[in-house]
Amino acid sequence: MKPDLRLVALDEKRLRVLLAASGWIALAVTLLPAGWPVRWLPALAFILLGPGLALLLPRPRGERDGARLEMWALAGPMSLSLGVLTATLLLLLEVFSVAAFLIPLALITSVAAYLPGLPLPAALPGAAEPGRRKHADTG
Amino acid sequence: VQESPRRDGQGAPDTPPRDPRRTVGGETMRLPVLGGPTRARTAGRSGTGTDGTADTTAAATTPEHGETMQLRTVPEAAGPAGGTTGGRPPRKGGGGLIPDGLFKGDLLLSWAPLAAAVVLWTVSLPFVGHRTMGDYGLLDRMPFTYYLALITLTGGFLLSLRRAGTAPWWPAAYCVGLLFALKAVPAVLYDAVRYPWASKHDAVINRLLMTGEVSPYTEQAGNMDAYEQWPGFFALNAGMVRAFGVEAAASYVNWAPIVIGLLLMLVLVVIYRTFTEDWRLVWVGVWIFQAANWVGQDYLAPQGFTYLLHLTIIAIVFRNFVLPGSAGPLRDHSNLDPVAAPVPPPTTTRQRALAVAMLVPLIFAINSAHQLTPVMLCVCLGALLFTRRYRNWGLLVTAGSIMLFWDLTMGRPLFMETMGTIKDSLGRLMENSRAGYAGQLTGPGPELAGKANITMVLAVALLAGISLLARRKLIRSALPLGLVSVAPVPLFAVNDYGGEMLFRVYLFGLPGAAFFAAAALVPPAVGGRRAKPRAARGKGLGAKAPAIALPLVLAALVAGFMPSYYGKEKMYYTPPVESAMVTRAIDNAPEGTLVLATTGSFPQALHRYDKVEQWFFAEQELPENEKMLQDPAKYLSDGIPRGVSSAIVILTRTQDIYAAGEGLLPPGGFADLRGKLESSPLFTVVEAHPYGVVLKYTPEKAAERSGGTSR
């Protein structure tokens, strides 16, 4: 059992370190010439998945079936939502620039990467019917 | 009715609960936990795994929830392919690069059709005639190998369904393949933005980048105010354009359907898995969704983006917002369809409050980006109140409050205007549900596309209707999905959304419709966890009907997608020279110029929309346009407001195709218009090409000429 847990933990740890750095990598590659794949690929990956994955990882042990799938499905929309809100706020404040756009997202991602993942209640290991009740319906 | 944890274990009657890990080669390996009723069918059977190793499949019951899990394990003494390796993990294929069994049996049937389809699709690309499209758009410009690729994909997908319970990644790979096969052709081949109106979004992004601000209260030309009042999506793209270092969003705009499609697929799977354990049903639902998603709202636009966020919120609600004690009889498996998933575990008030807080950024992002989707979200959350399972007033109030906040602040101008006119549109069902502007689709391609659209809608609705009758237990447990799918329908009674409401209602209803349509085609698996005993099942044609219907319907839907999506493609592809002409004309126009065009559906129509005005003079009923064609020069001259210092007319090939296809102008009307304007003394030709003409409004020259004549 232990080697298994170590393997999983190691992968997750590496992923979180990568996530913590992803925003800063995306910012650094903006110094590269425009249009190069080494510039837009890290930026795309970060904007698309970085903040969301950092917020959702690490997942608690023993999650229910489907929790991993749920995490990957949520990572993209959550990342993009944060990107929308950051960019809109910058434009409203009239301080928009590429650095002003990427730095807050990179900061959020770095901090979130070292915090526990957001709790998705139904995926938690203990999530089950709390007790037996009467008067239920068919929903 | 008392609720109780699952106590079925029917899938593995002979298998005691066990640890979901097995020792292999002296080490403990984590094993994939899979779902689906087919896992029961394969329980205890040995065979060849997808990775080429011999495997044993077993079922187990988790102590927490009584859920059966399938374990694919490598037997301890399976020889070089998977046996003991002296403390090291076993190597695949006996140490070679190619896994054993790659060219045998099930594994061969899993990957070979996909590989063949990829090859066929790739070799077909150089032969796609998008630059020479005729009446049927891309339909008759796709080579035979392209259609062969679609057939191969469909066949391979059907084969992969046989093992969907143990290897769900194969149908997943085919669904991804279908997404690429159907929608990546323009992304790979086009040297221009697909959909002329997508360039309008590019114009908004460019303006945001140039000015570095949004102006929600400044009146913009060409009805562009809404884009400044709901700027979230464009702001995100402004950030992406700068981060990628590209010149404009036009560089990646054609890839949006693929990226959005992939993200959407994940969310759909989460939704479908909430209501069924049958992976076949899940992937057939995804397949139908993709084939029936011809509406064209997957391009780089706020609707496609917010649709993804909307479905994400719905998915989170389905999984995480079940009220305690609300599932009732649905906890009893005798009340469930054989493949229905158990109701997700209930959550406490505190957990749900936390989940609402997690959703706030998504709800805000939707509200910052689009005006209609927040309404759809509130309507869907409102519909869920009819179920006790998801009666969450707090989430609805939160979503409604954020919507009102945005509407009354950033979106106030358009919101107040809409509120002012809503009493006129209220209850006008026929007008609100009309498609497009005013005309009738004209020409072989557009007419075929129109018929295919209707047929596709009816086919999906019919299939969903069949499952209403045949799978009543599944409908009962998946009722929330059904409710959120039909909830937007009453919006027909409220507003026409610029002739778009019909398509938007269809789009929002599609996830549920596709799932229930799939349920009509995918009966519970033989030997499924709660399936009937073999003896009780029919053996006649009725029993075989789904096996016959499934391939036919899936192939027919893919076939129907093609005219629906590509039948009018001639309207959607514009050669770069034409776009360059428009850009040049508007760049050269002084500030305050009025730009006249038959319709706004041509690339760069809204270029510099903060500097120039637009009048799309043929976007009206056909009789009015026929009157206009009698003397277009005078009609336009009379319509140009006094005080306009400069006016230009831009007529392009794309406008011609759109105006004819949508029935705005009669046959030959566009050529007639161009000829009369070119010969009119009121207008002077600035530049003329086979693909378009730019004319300048010169009333002073006309006056001089008429003065000279009279002298």
pLDDT in tens, B121-179: 999 999 999 999 988 999 999 999 999 999 999 999 999 998 887 888 899 999 999 99
Tokens representing B268?
Answer: 């759909």
State which residue of chain A sits closest to B358, comparing Cα positions.
Answer: A118
| pLDDT the model gives residue B515 | 96
A73 with B389: Cβ contact below 8 A = no
Cα end-to-end distance, chain B, whole Å: 100
Binned at pLDDT 50, 70 and 90, residue B330 comes out as confident
Q: Mean pLDDT across the stretch B538-552?
A: 72
Q: What is the distance between the alpha carbons of residues B244 and A37, in angstroms, rounded to a whole number?
A: 9
CB distance B350 to B361 below 8 Å: no
Instruction: Say which of B267, B329, B347 has its CB closest to residue A122.
Output: B347
Q: Mean pLDDT across the stretch B62-84?
A: 35
Integer angstrom CA distances of residue B139 from A69, B118, B136, B181, B412: 37, 20, 6, 14, 44
Triad B452, B523, B261: Cα angle to 5°: 45
Tokens 């944060």 belong to which residue? A82
A101: distance to nearest CA of chain B, Å? 6
CB distance B652 to B584 below 8 Å: no
A116: distance to nearest CA of chain B, Å? 14
Q: What is the pTM of this model?
A: 0.82
| pLDDT the model gives residue A136 | 36
By the CB < 8 Å criterion, does B242 face chain A? Answer: yes
- Hey, of A129, A133, A135, which one would you mutate to test binding to chain B, going by the most B CBs within 10 A of its CB? A129
Binned at pLDDT 50, 70 and 90, residue B96 comes out as low
DSSP state of B529: T
H or E element that contains B171 = helix B169-189
| pLDDT the model gives residue B77 | 32
By the CB < 8 Å criterion, does B64 face chain A? Answer: yes
By the CB < 8 Å criterion, does B213 face chain A? Answer: yes
| pLDDT the model gives residue B145 | 96
| pLDDT the model gives residue B459 | 93
B622 burial level (CB within 10 Å; 0-12, 13-18, 19+): middle
Q: What is the distance between the alpha carbons of residues B139 and A60, in angstroms, rounded to a whole number?
A: 50
| pLDDT the model gives residue A121 | 76
Instruction: Say which of B3, B231, B351 has its CB closest to residue A121.
Output: B351
DSSP state of B426: T
| pLDDT the model gives residue B425 | 65
Q: What is the per-residue pLDDT across B648-666, written as a single tens digit (0 to 9) for each? A: 999 999 999 888 888 888 8
With residues binned 3-state (H G I as helix, E B as strand, rest as coil), the percentages for chain A, rounded to 5, are 70, 0, 30
Q: What is the distance between the alpha carbons of residues B397 and B432, in angstroms, rounded to a whole number?
A: 28
Q: B57: Cβ–Cβ under 8 A, 6 or more apart, which residues? A: B39, B42, B43, B44, B45, B46, B47, B70, B71, B72, B166
A129 with B331: Cβ contact below 8 A = yes
| pLDDT the model gives residue B190 | 94
Binned at pLDDT 50, 70 and 90, residue B591 comes out as very high
Mapping DSSP to helix (H, G, I), strand (E, B) and coil, where does residue B250 land?
A: helix
CB distance B192 to B576 below 8 Å: yes
B701 burial level (CB within 10 Å; 0-12, 13-18, 19+): middle
| pLDDT the model gives residue A43 | 96
B243 with A43: Cβ contact below 8 A = yes
Q: What is the distance between the alpha carbons of residues B422 and B410, in angstroms, rounded to a whole number?
A: 20
B293 burial level (CB within 10 Å; 0-12, 13-18, 19+): buried
H or E element that contains B672 = helix B669-679
pLDDT, mean over chain B? 81
> For residue A58, is the peptide bond before it cis, meaning its omega torsion is within 30 degrees of 0?
yes
Q: B157: Cβ–Cβ under 8 A, 6 or more apart, which residues? A: B171, B174, B175, B178, B283, B287, B554
Q: Mean pLDDT across the stretch B520-540?
A: 59
Cα end-to-end distance, chain A, whole Å: 40
Q: Where are the alpha helices (DSSP H) in B589-661?
A: 622-630, 632-639, 653-661
By the CB < 8 Å criterion, does B26 face chain A? Answer: no
- Hey, of A32, A36, A81, A133, which one would you mutate to test binding to chain B, going by the most B CBs within 10 A of its CB? A81
Q: Mean pLDDT across the stretch B12-37?
A: 34
Q: What is the per-residue pLDDT across B172-216, written as a single tens digit (0 to 9) for each? A: 999 999 999 999 999 999 999 999 888 889 999 999 999 999 988
Q: Which residues of A touch B214 (CB under 8 A)?
A: 88, 91-92
Q: SS3 string of A28-95?
A: HHHHCCCCCHHHHHHHHHHHHHHHHHHHHCCCCCCCCCCHHHHHHHHHHHHHHHHHHHHHHHHHHCCC
Exposure of B612 in the CB half-sphere (CA atoms within 13 A)? 23
CB distance B366 to B306 below 8 Å: yes
Q: What is the distance between the alpha carbons of residues B319 and B392, in angstroms, rounded to a whole number?
A: 13
pLDDT score of B64 more than 60? no
| pLDDT > 70 fraction of chain B, expressed in percent and rounded | 78
B362 with A81: Cβ contact below 8 A = yes
Q: Which residues of A touch B348 (CB under 8 A)?
A: 121, 130
ipTM attached to this prediction: 0.87
Q: Which residues of B touch A97 (CB under 8 A)?
A: 212, 242
Q: Report the DSSP beta bridge partners of residue B21.
A: B30
Tokens representing B22?
Answer: 């097995």
| pLDDT the model gives residue B80 | 34
Q: Report the DSSP beta bridge partners of residue B687.
A: B694
pLDDT score of B379 more than 70? yes
Range B396-405, long-range pairs (CB < 8 A, 24+ positions): B398/B356, B398/B359, B398/B360, B398/B363, B399/B363, B399/B374, B402/B360, B402/B363, B402/B364, B402/B367, B402/B374, B403/B367, B403/B374, B403/B375, B403/B377, B403/B378, B405/B367
By the CB < 8 Å criterion, does B1 face chain A? Answer: yes
H or E element that contains B686 = strand B683-689
Triad B201, B207, B208: Cα angle to 5°: 95
A79: distance to nearest CA of chain B, Å? 9
DSSP state of B650: E
Tokens 């690069």 belong to which residue? B97
| pLDDT the model gives residue B135 | 86
A66 with B312: Cβ contact below 8 A = no
| pLDDT the model gives residue B511 | 96
Nearest Cα neighbor of B158 from B651, B452, B557 is: B557
B243 with A36: Cβ contact below 8 A = no
More confident residue, B237 or B530: B237
CB distance B677 to B635 below 8 Å: no
Q: What is the distance between the alpha carbons of residues B169 and B266, in angstroms, rounded to a whole number?
A: 12
Q: Which residues of A touch B480 (CB under 8 A)?
A: 139
Q: Which stretches of chain A drop beneath a pLDDT of 70?
A: 1-10, 122-139
More confident residue, B55 or B709: B709
Instruction: Say which of A4, A84, A135 has its CB closest to residue B365.
Output: A84
Tokens representing B450?
Answer: 């129109």
State which residue of chain A sits closest to B273, comparing Cα positions.
Answer: A66
B312: distance to nearest CA of chain A, Å? 7
State which residue of chain A sits closest to B385, comparing Cα positions.
Answer: A139
Q: What is the distance between the alpha carbons of residues B593 and B27, in angstroms, rounded to a whole number?
A: 76
pLDDT score of B447 more than 90? no
| pLDDT the model gives residue B533 | 46
H or E element that contains B521 = helix B501-521
B231 with A91: Cβ contact below 8 A = yes
Residues 182-211 of B with CB under 8 A from A: 208
Q: What is the distance between the alpha carbons of residues B581 and B687, in angstroms, rounded to a whole number?
A: 9
| pLDDT the model gives residue B342 | 86
Give the sheet arrangement for strand B54-61, strand by strand.
B33-34, B68-73, B54-61, B46-48
Query: How many residues are given for chain A?
Result: 139
Q: What is the distance between the alpha carbons of residues B607 and B586, in angstroms, rounded to a whole number?
A: 7
Tokens representing A133?
Answer: 């009740």
By the CB < 8 Å criterion, does B247 face chain A? Answer: yes
pLDDT score of B58 more than 70? no
Q: What is the distance between the alpha carbons of residues B609 and B228, in angstroms, rounded to a whole number?
A: 12
State which residue of chain A sits closest to B365, comparing Cα positions.
Answer: A81
DSSP state of B137: B
Nearest Cα neighbor of A75 from B315, B11, B347 is: B315
pLDDT score of B466 more than 70? yes
The one-letter code for the residue type at A4 is: D
Q: B180: Cβ–Cβ under 8 A, 6 or more apart, which residues? A: B121, B258
Provide DSSP, B347-395: --HHHHHHHHHHHHHHHHHHHHH-SSHHHHHHHHHHHHTTSSTT--HHH
Integer angstrom CA distances of residue B333 from B68, B341, B392, B409, B435: 14, 10, 25, 50, 44
| pLDDT the model gives residue B388 | 87
Mapping DSSP to helix (H, G, I), strand (E, B) and coil, where does residue B655 land?
A: helix
pLDDT score of B3 more than 80? no
Integer angstrom CA distances of residue B617 from B103, B479, B567, B572, B655: 63, 47, 26, 20, 12
Q: Which residues of B touch A2 (CB under 8 A)?
A: 28
pLDDT score of B407 more than 90? yes
Q: Mean pLDDT across the stretch B624-651?
A: 92
| pLDDT > 90 fraction of chain B, expressed in percent and rounded | 51
Nearest Cα neighbor of B673 from B605, B617, B601 is: B617
More confident residue, A81 or B447: A81
Chain-centre distance of CA B648, in angstroms? 37
